[in-house]
Amino acid sequence: MADCLRIDAASKHFGGLKAVDQVSFTIQEGALAALIGPNGAGKTTLFNLIAGAMPLTSGTITCYGKTVREPRNACRMGIARTFQNVRLFHELTVLENVMVGMSGAGFLAASLRWPGQVQAERLRMKRAYYLLERVGLEDLSAARAGEIPFGQQRLLEIARALALEPKLLLLDEPAAGLNRTETGALATLIRRIHQGNITILLVEHDMNLVMRLVEQVIVLDGGKKIAEGTPDAVRNNAAVCAAYLGG
Amino acid sequence: MTSSLPQPISPLRLYRGPLLLLVLIILLPLLTLLAHGRYGYLLPLAQLCGIYAIIVTGLTLLMGFTGQVSLGHAGFYALGAYTAAVAATRCSAPLWLAILLALCAGALVSFLTGYSLLRLTGHYLALATLCLGIIIYGLINNLEITGAAAGLTDLPQWKVFGLLPGHPLAKVYFIWGIVLLVILWAVHLSESPVGRALRAIHGDEVAAASLGVNTFATKLKVFVISGVLAALAGVLYAFVYADSYLGPEEFNLMFSVQLLIMVVIGGLGSVWGGLAGAVVLTGMHELITLVGEKCGSTDMAKYEQLIFGLILVLIVIFSRDGLIPGVRRGLARLMQPRRC
C-alpha cells in the first residue's frame, strides 16, 4: 500500500504560540484514521495545513509525494475537506452547493452558451443528484442550503466534498452538533464512503464514534503528537489518559 | 425514485426575459412617434437609462453575484468617455480607434486596480474603489488635456449604421440594442457554472477556494468585465448621447453612489433587478415632473428628493431584497387562491 498522506515534522507557529509542533505521521492509502486530542491541541490547525489553507512554518506535508501549497492545489491533488463550523453557500440550493466543486465552463464558453454546455450541465446535475442520494438528501435538492436542518447541512458538506472525487477526505468534526441517531447514520455513511476507496482522516471529539469507526488514531496535545496506534492501544496509553484527564 | 431528476433551465424560461425586453425596446420608443412627438423629450432620457443599465448590469454581477462592492465605477465610466473624447478631438483619431482605445483603457485600469484592490474585502474594498473614483474625477476636472471644468467640445457623433444620423429614436435603438446584448450575456453567465462560482464566492470565499474555485482570478475577471462595460457606457455617453459636448459634472462622486443605489433597489440577486433599478432611478425625475404638471404644480422638482427618499424607505421596509423580488412576491400572493 502506498502512503496517501505523509506529514513530516510539520510545525505552525502563530507568534510565540506553537499550534502545531514537529508533528509527523503517515496515513496509508485506504486508511480510516482519526485525529483526536483535547481542545486547543492543534487538530484543526493541522487540518488547515493539510488542506493548504495556511502555509507551514516548517516541515513538509505531501499527498502521494506532491507538496500541498494552497487550497486549490490541494483540491487538484485529490484532497477534499469539510469544515468544523459548517460553511455552506446558504443562498444556493442544495444541488447547486454540490455542483460548485465540479469544474465547468470558463467565462467565454459560459457567455456564449455553447450548445454542448446544456448537456454538460445536465450531466453535472445528474452526478450531483446521485451524490445527494448517497447521503440521503435527494428530496431536498431544490431547497436553499441555508434553510435545511443543521444535521443535514453536515451531510451536504460531505456530499459537496465528494463531488471533487477525492482520494483523501478530511472531515472536521463531522458529528459535532448531531444527536445520537444522526451520529449513527453518519458512522454508516463514513464507512460506506471508505469502502468506496477513499482514504479518510477525521477530527472528532465523539470518542464513541472514533473508537467504533477507525483503525488508526493519532493523538495531539499542545501541538505535539503524543500517541499513535489502534483505538485500543491509544485508549490504554498513559500519556493520552493524562492529557484528557489533566494529569 | 421519490423525486425526479433535476433538469437545467429550459430555453423558454432562460430567454423569455430577454425576448420581452426586445419587444419593449422595439415598441416603447415608437409610442412617442404615435404621440406626434409630444413626448419626444423622453427619448434622450431613454438613451441615458440604457447607458446606465449597461454599467449597472456589470455592477450587478460584481456586487450582487460576487459580493464585491465597488464605488469606483463612475471612474471607469469617466475614463471611457474621456479617453474616447480626447483621442477623437485632441489626437484626431478615427472613431473606431477612439472607441477601441477607450475600451482598452477601461480594461487596463480596471485590471491594475482590481489586481491590487481585490485583496481587500467589504468596507475596505468599497473605500479603496471610492478613492479610485475620486482620483479619476479629480483628474478630468483639472487636467488641461481633458479641458478641465470647461470640458471638451466638438465631439464626433457615432453615426448609427449611417442611418438617421443623430435622430434621437435611432440613438435609443442603438443604445438599447447594446443593452440587450449585455443583458443576454449576463443572463447566460448567471445560469452557468461561472454564475454559480460567483455566488459561491459571495456566500463563502474560503469554502469556494476549498472546492477548487480560483477566487481571486474569478473576482478579477468580473471586475475587469464590469470596468470595460462602464467604459463602453462612457463611450456611448460621449459619442451617442452627448451633443458634441462632454463635461466632468456627469462623473462626480454622487454618481458612484447613484449607481450603487440602482444596483441595490432593483434587487441584488438578479440581472433584471439591476436593469429595473437603472430605469426607475433615471426615470424618477421625469416621472415626478410629469405627475406634477398633470396635477397643476410647476415646481414638483423640489419634492423630488423627498419622494425619492420615501421610496427608498418603503423598499427597505417592505422589500429589503429589492424591487424585483418584492414585486414577484406580491404577484405570487395575488395569484394564490384565498384561504377561507
- Domain extents in chain A: 3-245
Judging by beta carbons within 10 Å of its beta carbon (0-12, 13-18, 19+), is residue A152 exposed, middle or buried?
middle
Is A107's CB within 8 Å of B8's CB?
no
Check pLDDT > 80 for residue B308. Answer: no
Task: Say what the pLDDT of residue B339 is.
Answer: 57
Instruction: Please state, rounded to an integer, the average pLDDT across all residues of chain A.
Output: 89
The whole-model pTM stands at 0.89
For residue B51, the distance in angstroms to the closest alpha carbon of chain A comes to 21
Which of B187, B191, B196, B204 to probe by mutation at the A interface, max A CB count within 10 Å? B196
Is A121's CB within 8 Å of B192's CB?
yes
B65: how many CB neighbours lie within 10 A of its CB? 25
- Shortest CA distance from B218: residue in chain A: A107
Average pLDDT over residues B16-23: 90
A43: how many CB neighbours lie within 10 A of its CB? 27
Average pLDDT over residues B19-33: 86
B121 near A CB under 8 A: no
pLDDT band with cut points at 50, 70 and 90 for residue B247: confident
Task: Say what the pLDDT of residue B2 is.
Answer: 46
Is A89's CB within 8 Å of B208's CB?
yes
Is A111's CB within 8 Å of B3's CB?
no
pLDDT band with cut points at 50, 70 and 90 for residue B301: low
Check pLDDT > 70 for residue B337. Answer: no
pLDDT band with cut points at 50, 70 and 90 for residue B143: confident
B184 near A CB under 8 A: no
Is A105's CB within 8 Å of B212's CB?
no
Nearest to A125 among B8, B189, B206 (CB): B8
Listed by number, the residues of chain A in 4-63 with a beta carbon closer than 8 Å to a beta carbon of chain B are: 51, 53
Question: Tens digits of per-residue pLDDT, A63-99?
Answer: 988 898 888 888 888 999 999 889 999 999 999 999 9
Question: Tens digits of per-residue pLDDT, B185-243?
Answer: 999 999 899 999 999 999 999 999 999 899 999 999 999 999 999 999 999 998 888 87
Average pLDDT over residues B146-173: 74
For residues A191 and A114, the model is more confident at A191
Q: What residues in A contact B2, CB-CB < 8 Å? A: 138-139
For residue B267, the distance in angstroms to the closest alpha carbon of chain A comes to 14
Check pLDDT > 50 for residue B328. Answer: yes
Most confidently modeled range among B159-173, B225-239, B321-335: B225-239
Among B286, B234, B240, B279, residue whose Cα is nearest residue B53: B279
Per CATH, which fold does A3-245 belong to? Rossmann fold (3.40.50)
Q: What residues in B contact A90, CB-CB < 8 Å? A: 203
Listed by number, the residues of chain B in 247-286 with a beta carbon closer than 8 Å to a beta carbon of chain A are: 269
Task: Say what the pLDDT of residue A125 is.
Answer: 93
pLDDT band with cut points at 50, 70 and 90 for residue B164: low
- Shortest CA distance from A84: residue in chain B: B207
Q: Which of A184-198, B117-131, B226-240, B321-335 has the lowest mean pLDDT?
A: B321-335
Average pLDDT over residues B149-160: 76
pLDDT band with cut points at 50, 70 and 90 for residue B8: confident
Q: What is the dihedral of CA A98, A100, A102, A103, to 10 degrees?
A: 170
Check pLDDT > 60 for residue B165. Answer: no
Which of A54, A92, A100 to probe by mutation at the B interface, max B CB count within 10 Å? A100
Average pLDDT over residues B5-28: 87
Task: Say what the pLDDT of residue A168 is.
Answer: 94
- Dist. CA A48–CA A44, nearest whole Å: 6
Among B18, B7, B10, residue whose Cα is nearest residue B271: B18
Q: What residues in B contact A76, CB-CB < 8 Å? A: 212
For residues A246 and A153, the model is more confident at A153
Percent of chain B clearing pLDDT 90 (strictly above): 36
A86 near B CB under 8 A: no
Average pLDDT over residues B50-79: 93
For residue A107, the distance in angstroms to the closest alpha carbon of chain B comes to 6
Check pLDDT > 90 for residue A33. Answer: yes
Residue A222, phi then psi, degrees to nearest 5: 55, 35
Is A75's CB within 8 Å of B8's CB?
no
Is A95's CB within 8 Å of B202's CB?
no
Average pLDDT over residues A90-117: 87
Among A45, A35, A48, A82, residue whose Cα is nearest residue A207: A35
B212 near A CB under 8 A: yes
Is A104's CB within 8 Å of B207's CB?
no
Among positive and negative, which fits the CA dihedral A63, A66, A71, A76? negative
Q: Are B61 and B189 in contact (CB under 8 A)?
A: yes
Q: Which of B50-54, B67-71, B243-247 has the lowest mean pLDDT?
A: B243-247
Average pLDDT over residues A221-240: 87
CA atoms lying within 13 Å on the CB side of residue B314: 9
Q: What residues in A contact B207, CB-CB < 8 Å? A: 83, 87-89
- % helix / strand / coil in chain B, to the nearest 5? 75, 0, 25
Q: What residues in A contact B193, CB-CB < 8 Å? A: 99, 102-105, 110, 121, 124
Task: Say what the pLDDT of residue A87 is.
Answer: 93
Question: Tens digits of per-residue pLDDT, B80-129?
Answer: 999 999 998 888 888 889 899 999 999 999 999 999 999 888 889 989 99
Is B192's CB within 8 Å of A105's CB?
yes
Instruction: Please state, rounded to an integer, the average pLDDT across all residues of chain B.
Output: 85
CA distances (Å), origin B268, targets A58, A182, B62? 44, 37, 10
- Shortest CA distance from B14: residue in chain A: A113
Average pLDDT over residues B68-81: 92
